[in-house]
Structure 1
């Protein structure tokens, strides 16, 4: 198995709350609630660890409430090389309704100083030692500019390692200043990167191919919510459509998709086999809180029910929140 370094620059505690229906301005009684140390790169690492890989976690972590994160890393046997900074890691609230709709309330995170960022830059080369692939996931914390992020990405890319990227907001535009191995946007993020609306499947297809053709990313893994995902490389495209499942919480679905696809890549699988596996594991994920579980009793059944799409990209109005 491989050794993967997963970066999360702006981790969070995820407070997942289940309720029947969200009605703003009223009092709600939660059906269940759960507070977990998380962050997109950390979620990716947890899935990769369950798939048998060695995982190293890096990024920027608030010192004041770091203990639960370190306990998670110890329990799941993931090495931490996080740079700790002054302040508290943020809390993100995920409100999951009975029909599968999720509303996110995301905190900003601690403010990163120039000294904090320089510490990460200086530590990066030694953090990459012995690593087979790098994942960069999540938003930028306050104090880190798009240009700062782009220059750091260049360090990762220049290492010669595969760099898989899943970000949004200002960090997404940094991809224009380098060439990552794979970019994993959802429909909204792809539109944000291109700077215009993508109202139908033809627009999405053209936009993903533009990202590859522009040299910003060698590959694009486009997540489409209930319609699964598409993998673009060169002039080729593969789409996998998941089986129907009862959707409970979609928070970690995109992270699970990326981790499972990277597992397939590192295992030497074909694009079709890797995408089929990734979409099946993302479908397993949305049935509960937390990352997908490849050891689920019915995972083989889910995998068998994944359908490969037609050459015309199929989309769904249901999107996996990132």
Structure 2
């Protein structure tokens, strides 16, 4: 089983419209309300692919109750810490041409007691699965840390998960990512911008991304699954390095696409070129769906995925 942890979850409202005109009244052609947060999206993608998952998260207020209800309706087990603050609500505006405008709320501040309760809930969720046929193989810890949690919180979580015998995937950025590296997470999943921020220099070619990922491995990450947007993905590990791509003709929405990729990677074992290919297939399928809808196996096109150990180091990255 794969457990996800989302310290700062959200309700995600997505509006689709032909073109966004600032300062004017804009009328949406379609709109959706989805449970959100990076770890929540990973759980949604895993469930859509037929995997067992539990979403661990802090929830508060009416928005927290609605988020939990939406997850349970999708068949996702929820393990929650009740907090005093209200779960945040984020808004995305997706334009027909592929433009995306996001407004992310700050979210609640967690107290020291709520932080400790969240760590304890993760430990209990991991322990309860042992010997029942639902052993926790992976924990995916995803997203920004809410106010009240220090950057070292993820490092503490990585150490706790390892002591319980499971592997851990970390998808975060900034000080929280850097602080966690020394705890040796089994895989980290930065995008191009997060790679550049982590190493303090620009990433303009595939080779730059390889070098930056290698630096994160030297600092402690056991594997680096690096998303390069439309240019593809890299997997840098002790066993080898691979580059892959999955071209998409039309992008409808990239909300949650990286989370779908991580779900595909972990669902395929979380290591090696086959897992990278699964990550690419899931990400490519996700960007062709509305809002933050997660792909099912029927949406995947594995034949469109190309993975190679012959990495095109000189290839420039777009954007």
Does the TM-score normalized on the shorter chain lie above 0.5? yes
Give the direction of change, closer, same or farther, for the CA distance of 1:34–1:292 in structure 2 (3 Å limit). Answer: closer
Point out where structure 1 has 5 or more consecutive residues left out of the alignment.
none
Q: Deviations over 1:287-311 (max 9, x none)?
A: 1222432332x63xx2112223542
CA drift at 1:180 = 0.1
Contact 2:3 2:54 in 1 (8 A): yes
Q: Secondary structure at the match of 2:146?
A: coil
Alignment partner of 1:58 out of 47, 56, 59: 56
For the residues of structure 2 that align with 1:315 and 1:45, how far apart are their CA atoms? Answer: 33
Partner of 1:222: 226
CA drift at 1:315 = 5.6
Contact 2:39 2:142 in 1 (8 A): yes
2:70 counterpart of 1:72: yes
Q: How does 1:1-322 map to 2 (within 5 A)?
A: 3-129=1-127, 130=129, 131-215=136-220, 217-234=221-238, 236-265=240-269, 271-288=272-289, 289-296=291-298, 299=300, 302-309=301-308, 310-313=310-313, 314=315, 316-317=317-318
For the residues of structure 2 that align with 1:280 and 1:150, how far apart are their CA atoms? Answer: 30
**TM-score, length basis structure 1:** 0.89
**TM-score, length basis structure 2:** 0.90
Contact 1:250 1:285 in 2 (8 A): yes
CA drift at 1:143 = 1.1
CA drift at 1:160 = 2.6
Aligned residue-pair number: 309
Root-mean-square deviation (CA, aligned residues, Å) is 2.0
For the residues of structure 2 that align with 1:148 and 1:184, how far apart are their CA atoms? Answer: 17
For the residues of structure 2 that align with 1:127 and 1:74, how far apart are their CA atoms? Answer: 17
For the residues of structure 2 that align with 1:170 and 1:75, how far apart are their CA atoms? Answer: 35
Give the direction of change, closer, same or farther, for the CA distance of 1:93–1:11 in structure 2 (3 Å limit). Answer: same
**Ranges of 4+ aligned residues in structure 1 off by more than 6 Å:** none
Q: Deviations over 1:19-44 (max 9, x none)?
A: 22334333322222212221111110
Give the direction of change, closer, same or farther, for the CA distance of 1:194–1:5 in structure 2 (3 Å limit). Answer: same
Q: Deviations over 1:9-62 (max 9, x none)?
A: 000111111222334333322222212221111110111122222211112122
Give the direction of change, closer, same or farther, for the CA distance of 1:291–1:32 in structure 2 (3 Å limit). Answer: closer
For the residues of structure 1 that align with 2:167 and 2:25, how far apart are their CA atoms? Answer: 48
Question: Which shows bigger deviation, 97-106 or 131-140?
Answer: 97-106
Give the direction of change, closer, same or farther, for the CA distance of 1:148–1:252 in structure 2 (3 Å limit). Answer: closer
For the residues of structure 1 that align with 2:305 and 2:153, how far apart are their CA atoms? Answer: 40
For the residues of structure 1 that align with 2:75 and 2:19, how far apart are their CA atoms? Answer: 37
Give the direction of change, closer, same or farther, for the CA distance of 1:148–1:275 in structure 2 (3 Å limit). Answer: closer
Partner of 2:133: none
Q: Deviations over 1:73-99 (max 9, x none)?
A: 322222211111012111111121222
For the residues of structure 1 that align with 2:181 and 2:64, how far apart are their CA atoms? Answer: 33
Q: Secondary structure at the match of 1:5?
A: strand
Give the direction of change, closer, same or farther, for the CA distance of 1:180–1:95 in structure 2 (3 Å limit). Answer: same
Point out where structure 2 has 5 or more consecutive residues left out of the alignment.
130-135
For the residues of structure 2 that align with 1:219 and 1:27, how far apart are their CA atoms? Answer: 46
CA drift at 1:238 = 1.0
Q: Secondary structure at the match of 1:117?
A: helix
Contact 2:49 2:297 in 1 (8 A): no
CA drift at 1:316 = 4.1
